[in-house]
A and B are shown apart, each in its own frame.
Chain A
Amino acid sequence: EPEVTQTPSHQVTQMGQEVILRCVPISNHLYFYWYRQILGQKVEFLVSFYNNEISEKSEIFDDQFSVERPDGSNFTLKIRSTKLEDSAMYFCASSVQKPGNTIYFGEGSWLTVV
């Protein structure tokens, strides 16, 4: 069964460093998303991406965040200068269409900022 894959599964980084989280969405999907989940809290939407541009972003997705689809398969989330409060599980997700009836999530990348 096709799945969304994410790397790394866990990353520890120093505050102020740049981090890139990578995702390979399901191959025939057209919409891509990043969500995050701070430990013990609910899952929060960050950004959605379609047709090589951001289609929607939340108030969390400020100037330190950026997304990119550098080639036909990868979808990346970059955090330019990490802060302690960026420590969270970051989920990539994809769906076939808007409004897609199912959004499939990757297994997550756990980011720890120290």
Chain B
Amino acid sequence: AQKITQTQPGMFVQEKEAVTLDCTYDTSDPSYGLFWYKQPSSGEMIFLIYQGSYDQQNATEGRYSLNFQKARKSANLVISASQLGDSAMYFCAMREGNPRIIFGKGTRLHILP
């Protein structure tokens, strides 16, 4: 069974619009963490945002926010006021009790001018 599911293989969004990238996860561990990484065409993996399972508030980092709905096991990434430089692959990932993190298959985001 998939631990991390990203249902949108690709998205096209107009510049300056807000974007929501979907992520659902599956775990029975009460303690876990959720990450979003951005992978531009250069290939590097850029950390964007983190949400711990016990965090009371949704994480925010600049234009990025994580819409954490624990009961639904979803951790959607919201990018406000999208920019052309936001075009990239976006990976949702989860860490359970052990050190490794497990990645979803990614969503390719295209920002249109």
Contacts and interface: CB of A to CB of B under 8 A. Distances in A.
Interface of A: 31, 33, 41-45, 48, 50, 55-56, 58, 89, 91, 93, 95, 98-108, 110
B88 to A, nearest CB: 14
B94 to A, nearest CB: 11
B87 to A, nearest CB: 17
A64 to B, nearest CB: 20
A49 to B, nearest CB: 9
Given A33-B99, A42-B106, A56-B100, 17 more contacts: A42-B91, A43-B45, A43-B91, A43-B103, A44-B103, A45-B100, A45-B102, A48-B98, A48-B100, A56-B99, A58-B100, A93-B45, A99-B95, A104-B47, A105-B37, A105-B44, A110-B43
30 contacts: A33-B100, A42-B91, A42-B103, A42-B106, A43-B45, A43-B93, A45-B100, A45-B101, A56-B98, A56-B99, A91-B45, A95-B99, A98-B99, A99-B31, A99-B33, A99-B99, A100-B99, A101-B50, A102-B35, A102-B50, A103-B35, A103-B47, A103-B101, A105-B44, A105-B45, A105-B46, A106-B44, A107-B44, A108-B43, A108-B44
